[in-house]
Chain A
């Protein structure tokens, strides 16, 4: 990919700009830290605003799409096609009274929405968006990018537990207990899915992972994609894994006691998660900003993100909520095993390919031919596993229990 000049919104260019500005005003060398600080503040301001606006339109899009999937219309009153609905929602929430329960743990109660929103936003700083946006990443091209993501997302479970525990509400506590159990369980399949990517890419940096995908990893290891996708759907607690909120059982789970602007922030974090997850999945499995040359890389990235978001919406509008024991069983009995098996498989194939001299010139990733061979083997194995599981597990069909005989039958009376 030809190195195109980054637009003005990268961290480095802003740093240079502010350094020049400070020079111009006449401060000396000792104020260089100020340039870094100002650049950081402006880039964070930019990320927050872009993400909030994107989330606002995403909520509109989600509601419209799910309505179409379920033969409804969705919001269509405010503005053209109801596009001003998210702004009306937020305005309503801001104008409402911000209540805190008497028994609540007030500092924790106040901090929880922020603790939920911040990690979601922090993931965006390491995503490489491609040439249309800054070349590497918004803020920093960390060389441990994916590890940063795993570390930061695990704060979510604490935030949800904070929200539920501080509310002093039985529904909130139940929801957050389920949330803690579920989110911690699904961290493991997610990490396993990521590990199999790392074996093939040979690097933790997001840009390296993208550039090593001479064949997209979804084609190379469909099983890893499935494990990661299922685990991240659970991580952001969307249907069919939305036991944390469970409107029909728990009021609305951990955010039962929230109102006003705090609820708006919780809502924002919850709807920002699909965007972020789609960005991560695109980077890890769909080749990031790779694409054909007639469009810039950022557009390809956005298109792939859109496809992932669409699939998530499709799942959400179709499948019902699983029970908590089914969710935990799925994590530990199915995804955990599949993830481990996938790692074993990929590692075996990688070392065999290494034996046959399949390493590319950078000596950490494989050449495309070997990737395709591995992909063919993995697809065959995945389909075989699906068929085996479907036919072995599917044998156990639910049999309806025998109906209890009517008491009239004993007395020799025929029921009409």
Chain B
């Protein structure tokens, strides 16, 4: 079904034919697009069942002898030092933020790679190429800026 993309015509998705609707109401064709996700569902179920089973059997079958030493906090065998609530440096945050920005950039590039051949077939190859190049150039300038500014240095 094609979107009507010219302005002024309403932009509605054209209404579906009723015949197709009838077929779908029986629920056969409807779930077909979910079948690729079946393995994921199985995986999730398996993980859930494993978690519950392990905890359950460990509590039911395992022996429980609680002593003081077992209950103490364990840190590499030596007594705990320092405040567990120590604050982290803001540098981590800057790195994380830069990571997200460039992560999002890669998200935008991914469909482009999959589609470039199709676009080229439609005679839009160079257009798509320069479209993406200007997008990446802008962000490359951002990278150069961050680099030269020393925001990537760990001092």
A binds B: no
Report which A residues bind B (CB closer than 8 A).
none
Report which B residues bind A (CB closer than 8 A).
none
